[in-house]
Copies of this chain bind each other. A is one copy, B any other.
Amino acid sequence: MQSNDAASSLIQVEQRMRSLVTHDVGVAGEAAVLHLSAGGSRIRARLALHACSALRVPHDQAVAVAAACELLHNASLVHDDLQDRDTQRRGLDTVWRRHGDAAAICVGDLLLSAAYGALAPTGAAAGQLITRMHQRVGTVIRGQCDDLALQGAKLNSLYTYERVAQGKSAPLLILPLELALALAGRIDAISAAVEAGSLFAVGYQAADDLDDVERDALNEEINIVAVLAARGERQPREAARALAIERFQQCLAAAARLPQDSGQLMATQARRHVAMLTQTRVPA
């Protein structure tokens, strides 16, 4: 996709998202628009637009899928911030902090409903896309519950760490590729998308943890460095960095198996993370 095409498609996705939360919804709609206006990387929308373009999915369906994935992600952010009592997001007070708990529940609900509303223009494919989306939402919810249940626990299982990291983030990284592949009739390739998204999720979480070691220790939140230290690792930061790099490199291999270069943007992102992890000097 040309970069000016990509930019104009992203603007259409933003417009679509806003139009889905501003029909007669009062303060919840205003709060949702404010939340969306704070921006974010829009990586899920970009993954969907890129994959749809590579797979020759019609443009209006691409915008629909991109808006759906991004709305879903933002719904989960609003409810997660409330559950975790996070106060800041993208430089703004979080929705619960600004509007109260009850309003934050409403705003997350509105964004979640809008995500499904966004799929309406996909026509005959809508049924299949709904089913796939609901399946991934279920997995996200399971991941969030697992994460909440483990808060304060001293985790020393790398398997559990990776399972929780995957549960929380992988479904909504897989979904943009999955819906694009489904629209292109390439369900044979969805397993590669699942693999790539799951590996990216673990790599990303581990890289993110490396930036937050002290804060997570203070808040008793799960962090890969603490997990590796609890397993007796002598140089847990170095080991965490190696794990993150390994997962991103495995992600690259899986993304390369996606048809018609539809995994290219995820691969680019993974490569960027590897470069950052390789350049950063990690204290021992």
Q: Which residues of A contact B (CB under 8 A)?
A: 20-21, 23-29, 75, 79, 82-83, 101-103, 105-106, 108-110, 112-114, 116-117, 119-124, 126-128, 130-131, 133-135, 137-139, 141-142, 144-146, 148-149
Residue from B110, B130, B141 in contact with A120 in the complex, judged by beta carbons closer than 8 Å: B130
- Asked if B134 contacts A126 (CB within 8 A), the reply is no
- Asked if A134 contacts B109 (CB within 8 A), the reply is no
Task: Give the Cβ gap from A170 to chain B, nearest Cβ, in Å.
Answer: 13
- Asked if A123 contacts B124 (CB within 8 A), the reply is yes
| Secondary structure type dominating chain A contacts | helix
- Asked if A130 contacts B139 (CB within 8 A), the reply is no
Number of copies: 2
- Asked if B109 contacts A27 (CB within 8 A), the reply is no
Residue from B20, B24, B110, B130 in contact with A126 in the complex, judged by beta carbons closer than 8 Å: B130
Task: Give the Cβ gap from A27 to chain B, nearest Cβ, in Å.
Answer: 5
Residue from B109, B117, B146, B149 in contact with A108 in the complex, judged by beta carbons closer than 8 Å: B109
Given contacts A26-B141, A112-B113, A126-B126, 14 further A-B pairs with CB under 8 A are A23-B135, A24-B135, A24-B139, A25-B138, A26-B146, A29-B142, A83-B101, A83-B102, A105-B108, A106-B144, A108-B109, A110-B138, A113-B134, A116-B134
Q: List 14 A-B contacts (CB under 8 A).
A: A23-B135, A24-B135, A24-B142, A25-B142, A26-B146, A82-B105, A83-B102, A109-B109, A110-B138, A113-B116, A113-B137, A119-B130, A126-B130, A130-B130
